[in-house]
Amino acid sequence: MAAAKPSLGRLLPGSSILFLCDMQEKFRHVAYFPQIVSVAARMLKVARLLEVPTVLTEQYPQGLGPTVPELGAEGLRPLAKTCFSMVPVARQELDARPQLRSVLLCGIEAQVCILNTALDLMDRGLQVHVVVDACSSRSQVDRLVALARMRQSGAFLSTSEGLILQLVGDAAHPQFKEIQKIIKEPAPDSGLLGLFQGQNPLLR
């Protein structure tokens, strides 16, 4: 009997969805918050160009405020939640898309809502792509261990540019020139080199 083929984590716009988690006013103290939001905004622009659906959540917005304007999420209806996972409030969106295979996950905080969302999505049989330069935590130890934990559980860790170009797939794509403008400047530094450099045992 042939061994089961491992999941390669390939992405196609028609079977993907973008999740934007809790990038709100009261979380501006999270490490690298401006950079994280900037990268998530890139992902949202690309999702709109490629017609990838998007889910936006806000954690207890009455106390933690609205989504920050620099995300550029105008036109999206935020789903309010108290649960430390996006999945309960996004269930209707997920159930409405039987063709869905992949979720691109951005936001905060890595060790709480990002981790629990990733686990809940994988429980549903979906592939999770954590956009590492669009996720952070107040503590960089929490961020590092959360990334390692998600990887241990089967999530894919990728950069925004890697995921964007995987979604586009071909320089002949009709939206490629517009997307090229978005990624022309490298994504801002969000402290990842410090997490990944050297022989970090958590990310081997």
Q: Which residues are catalytic?
A: 22, 81, 113
- How many alpha carbons lie under 13 Å from residue 120 in its C-beta half-sphere? 18
Q: At how many degrees (to 10) do helices 115-123 and 87-95 cross?
A: 40
Q: Read off the tokens for 201.
A: 């045992």
Q: Are 40 and 124 in contact (CB under 8 A)?
A: no
Nearest partner of 164 among 15, 43, 37, judged by Cα: 43
d(CA 29, CA 14): 35
